[in-house]
Amino acid sequence: MIRVRDLKSSRKVEEGRKAILSLSQLVQPFSPARAKRLLDAADKYCSFLNFPREIRHYLYTNNTSESFNSILARFEEELGGYFPSLRSLEVYLYVSIHESNSRWKFRPMSVIRHYSYHLKQLHASRFQVSLDEDF
């Protein structure tokens, strides 16, 4: 039986496509339309396999959103379970997003920093940009 883990653990895009094909065959008897959508979007689902294996986890994880949700929950708890006004929520969201962006932008993960040259090469080849540009 196919599992999503098989897609995540694939070493190459071709292996990932085979995993998507197996998954669509499993879904086909129950929902032919969904199976077709899986096959049509196989390239999108497998695109993270083009990146070095060591950084793939950071591409398909939802740690960033979970971290942001925990910040909101902590703020709500400090205020007694509710936000006093829409304005206070807006201000807090702005500050939280700014702090999160600063944390991610100025303190990149060491694994990603290690592969930054390779990532810049992939970006340059994909979007035809000069490597001298700072992005």
Please check whether residues 115 and 85 belong to one and the same domain.
yes
Provide mean pLDDT across the span 76-91.
Answer: 80
For residue 15, what are the domain limits? 4-50
Residue 132 inside a domain? The answer is: no
The tens digit of pLDDT for each residue in 101-126 reads 766 666 656 767 777 777 777 777 77
Q: How many domains does the structure of the chain reveal?
A: 2
Distance CA 93, CA 111 (A): 29
Please check whether residues 35 and 99 belong to one and the same domain.
no
State the average pLDDT for the chain.
77
Residue 134 inside a domain? The answer is: no
Residue 92 inside a domain? The answer is: yes
Please check whether residues 113 and 66 belong to one and the same domain.
yes
100-118 in b/e form (b: 16+ CB < 10 A) is: eeeeeeeeeeeebeebeee
Please check whether residues 46 and 23 belong to one and the same domain.
yes
